[in-house]
Amino acid sequence: MVRVEPARLSDAAAIHDLVTYWADHGDMLHRPIAEIYEAIRDFKVARHEGRVVGTGSLHIMGSDLAEVRSLAVAADAQLHGVGAAIVAACVADARTFGLERVFALTYKPGFFEKQGFRVANVMEFPQKVWNECVRCPFFTNCKEVAVVQDLNGADLSVPMTRDA
C-alpha cells in the first residue's frame, strides 16, 4: 500500500534522486537539491514500505493559482496510481488554500487529463512564463504542454455578473 504524505527534510535526497533520474532521461527539468530543501514544505512524497517511490509539489504562484511541479514516480512504481495519488493530494491542498486553479507544464498531458485537467495555453499563466520560464534553457524551444484544472467549478473565462 502506498501512502502520500507531506515530505520531511530527510526526504530531500530521495526527492532529488527521483527528479534527477527523470531529468536525466529528458522527461523533466533538473532541480538542484538546495531548491528542494528551500521548497520542502511544498512537496508530497508517496511511500511504499518506508521507501519514497514518488514525489510532487504544489508551488503557489499567487492568490488564485498554483503549479503542480516535480512530479516523479520511481520506474518500478509506475502504473500503480502513485502519480495520480500525488496529484490528488496537491489538488486537495490547493482547495484547502482556496485557490481557483492548478496548472502544470508537462510532457504527458494525457496523464493530467485523466486527473481532471484540460490542455491550456501557457500564456494563461504569465506569472510562470515571465518569472520562471524565461530563465529556462529551453524557453525558446519548450516542448512542455500546459494543463490546468479549475477548482471552483466555474468557467473562469466568462465574467461573473451580480444580481442587483
Q: What is the pLDDT of residues 56-90, one digit of tens each?
A: 999 998 889 999 999 999 999 998 999 999 999 99
CA dihedral 129, 131, 26, 88 (to 10 degrees): -80
User: In angstroms, what CA-CA distances link 97 with 62, 64, 65?
Assistant: 11, 9, 10
Beta-carbon contacts of 79 under 8 Å, excluding residues fewer than 6 positions away, are none
> pTM of the predicted model, to two decimals?
0.83
Whole-number pLDDT of residue 134:
45
Which run of H or of E encompasses 88? Answer: helix 82-97
Q: Which residue has the cell 520511481?
A: 74
Q: Is CATH 3.40.630.30 the classification given to domain 2-150?
A: yes
pLDDT tens-digit map of 90-115: 999 999 999 999 999 888 899 999 99
Domain boundaries, the chain: 2-150
Cβ atoms within 10 Å, residue 72: 25
